[in-house]
Amino acid sequence: MARIRTARTAGDLQTQFREISARASALRDRFDAPLFGVRPQADSWSAAECLLHLNMSADPYFPMWRDAMARNAGARQPPQEKYRLDFWGWVLVWTLEQPPRFRFPTQNPFEPVNVGPIDEVLPAFLERQQRIRQAIEESRGVAVDAIKITSRFARQVRYSVWSSFCVIAAHERRHLWQAERALERVRAR
The answer, yes or no, to whether residue 2 has pLDDT greater than 60, is: no
Which pLDDT score is estimated for 176? 96
Measured CA to CA in angstroms, residue 186 lies from 45, 46, 120 at distances of 11, 9, 20
Which pLDDT score is estimated for 104? 67
Look up residue 75 and give its DSSP letter. G
Query: How many Å apart are CA 150 and CA 158, to the nearest integer?
Result: 4
The answer, yes or no, to whether residue 183 has pLDDT greater than 70, is: yes
**CA end-to-end span of the chain, whole Å?**
25
Q: Is residue 136 left, alpha or beta, with left meaning phi > 0 and alpha meaning psi from -120 to 50? A: alpha
| pTM (two decimals) | 0.91
Biggest alpha carbon distance in the chain? 57
Is residue 98 within 8 A of residue 1, CB to CB? The reply is yes
Mean pLDDT of the chain: 89
Q: What is the CATH number of domain 10-188?
A: 1.20.120.450
Is residue 48 within 8 A of residue 115, CB to CB? The reply is yes
The answer, yes or no, to whether residue 73 has pLDDT greater than 80, is: no
> pLDDT by residue (tens digit) across 120-134?
999 999 999 999 999
What sign results for the dihedral spanned by CA atoms 32, 37, 42, 43?
positive
> pLDDT by residue (tens digit) across 16-34?
999 999 999 999 999 999 9
Query: How many Å apart are CA 144 and CA 142, to the nearest integer?
Result: 5
What's the length of the chain? 189
